[in-house]
Structure 1
């Protein structure tokens, strides 16, 4: 994301202009978060809103809009002129390939640790090695769940054709499909897993099985005004503060999330505790915003596996770190 006028000035003047941009009071704006109120990725935003972290950091966030998918989230952001959105990276790269003027400005969820693949208690399946000839559920073609199902098979030294992947249309829909025997294995992400964990048995956990894969990222349009630039930076700082708060105060955070997500408090508490404590190759589930290039590159590779992306993808060129706090500006 570039402020083009900055680069036409001499260095000292440009630096002053940039500082002025970020010192400008932030606007009152909405932000867009994919599957907010449903999926675990957006939980820190609920905490940031309830605890007043947005206002503390200088962003008057008037509301958080939810969208059902990455492409929808980006369209809502651009159509509504929202300064910031949280979305899955494959939607970002697909939009960039079509010429969209957007940038990845924060790396929000660094792993897919919310995923568990589960079976009925009496199932003979105990690990990915037992999946030969079995039916594995996934949500929709070219989805993350389809790509991850392929990785689970690989973890069991199996090929994609060794099992049958069955579209269920959604994670919630996968539960009755498992009950009725339409599939043998269902992907159950948090907070659904915390709701159903006493009913089913896990045969694979992403946090233990899969490497860090960029899950959702913060995105902004490439032509942010000085006011919107200040707002974006403040949103990133507030979300980071919420992630830290969730680690220090998981019970209170779970109470907030239970209200926003309409969850049983025990389910919310279990989900928060599971994800706050989850690490994958040393990386947490909810990140600070700092960019991890390896995870982003791996996300691209995973999406190419299922045909969601093709051709050359300029991962590094998609990233703009100017909105990040100085201590996390460096790309890892």
Structure 2
């Protein structure tokens, strides 16, 4: 079994090799590169793992080297813009924030469109926190992250009216550490961690309140998309092929994921089955999922005029996926 450390080291080496060969940036004719994935130890990575293992990207004419983990959405956007990682699966709220800051980004495909994997837990021993109404100190990962946006929209949807202090932990692992230290009431404990311990108890199951939510999107720079349209189309088609393969072969997907993050196959099977239950992935655009995520980010940023429609480009989507944007986008492409 390949260790996680070995995979990360291999990713770094491959990135250097691809850079030396001109595999990244905004060059034309790029068909071989690494893929940047936020929090790659979590289910975001599963379609990429499956697509690589089954040769689904290569059948479409592109080669995905390594899955390069990003610490969070903003970090992954910066890695993508550095030139060596031309396409990224990155948190949508981070893309919104990056766009607001003037960063040139284009959303070419959907990715994770549910809130599975973003449940908020407390310590099982914490008898004082049982429901969302008991939460007084809520940890999220980083500013402008999906978890920060959820810390605003979930209490509103649930009708919770208590005053809530929000704490930026700096990452998923750091949030778990704050939780274990008793510094916060709830934090996201990712499925890969929950699978290995029973010391946490879920307090806020995000999917109980939000059926659809655009967690992550497949993103590139406008220049790369314009110069490499066939490559972008091939990546999206391969991603959707992987999603369909997972639906038909969940056990194989679970085995690949278990090997990748070093958990037992039974735990990985549970994770994969839940992703399928929540219709977790699609290369297409889902208007409801996008709208919910934008609303959450507007709450977190305390503004009503957050633009987003011009980020999306439908022209690269496979024909067999939805391509619907929220009504406020009109005919945006």
Counterpart for residue 4 of structure 2: none
TM-score, length of structure 2 as denominator length: 0.79
Counterpart for residue 92 of structure 1: 95
Question: 1:164-175, aligned counterparts within 5 Å?
Answer: 164-175=165-176
Q: What is the alpha-carbon root mean square deviation over aligned residues? A: 2.6
**SS of structure 1 residue aligned to 2:219:** strand
2:108·2:220 contact (CA, 8 Å) conserved in 1?
A: yes
CA deviation vs aligned residue, 1:106-165 (integer Å, no higher than 9, x gap):
01111212122223334143322333xx33322234432222123332244223x62333
CA deviation vs aligned residue, 1:223-266 (integer Å, no higher than 9, x gap):
24777221111111111111112222222111111222233333
Question: 1:27-176, aligned counterparts within 5 Å?
Answer: 27-36=31-40, 38-80=41-83, 82-122=85-125, 123-131=127-135, 134-159=136-161, 162-176=163-177
**SS of structure 1 residue aligned to 2:220:** strand
1:119·1:200 contact (CA, 8 Å) conserved in 2?
A: yes
Distance in 2, Cα, partners of 1:43 & 1:317: 28
Displacement, 1:293?
A: 2.8
The alpha-carbon distance between structure 1 residues 66 and 184, as it changes in their structure 2 partners (threshold 3 A), is closer
Distance in 2, Cα, partners of 1:171 & 1:25: 36
Q: How many residues align?
A: 297
Displacement, 1:317?
A: 1.6
1:297·1:315 contact (CA, 8 Å) conserved in 2?
A: no
Counterpart for residue 179 of structure 1: 180
Counterpart for residue 9 of structure 1: none
Distance in 2, Cα, partners of 1:98 & 1:52: 37
Structure 2 regions of 5+ residues with no counterpart? 1-27, 326-333
**SS of structure 2 residue aligned to 1:169:** coil
Distance in 2, Cα, partners of 1:213 & 1:32: 21
2:105·2:220 contact (CA, 8 Å) conserved in 1?
A: yes
Displacement, 1:56?
A: 1.4
2:124·2:199 contact (CA, 8 Å) conserved in 1?
A: yes
1:83·1:231 contact (CA, 8 Å) conserved in 2?
A: no
Distance in 1, Cα, partners of 2:205 & 2:104: 36
Distance in 1, Cα, partners of 2:87 & 2:143: 27
**SS of structure 2 residue aligned to 1:64:** strand
Distance in 2, Cα, partners of 1:273 & 1:85: 25
Counterpart for residue 16 of structure 1: none
Displacement, 1:328?
A: 2.5
TM-score, length of structure 1 as denominator length: 0.79
Distance in 2, Cα, partners of 1:155 & 1:265: 35
Structure number with larger C-alpha Rg:
1
Distance in 2, Cα, partners of 1:69 & 1:119: 22
Counterpart for residue 324 of structure 1: 317
Distance in 2, Cα, partners of 1:172 & 1:127: 23
Distance in 2, Cα, partners of 1:152 & 1:169: 20
Displacement, 1:324?
A: 0.9
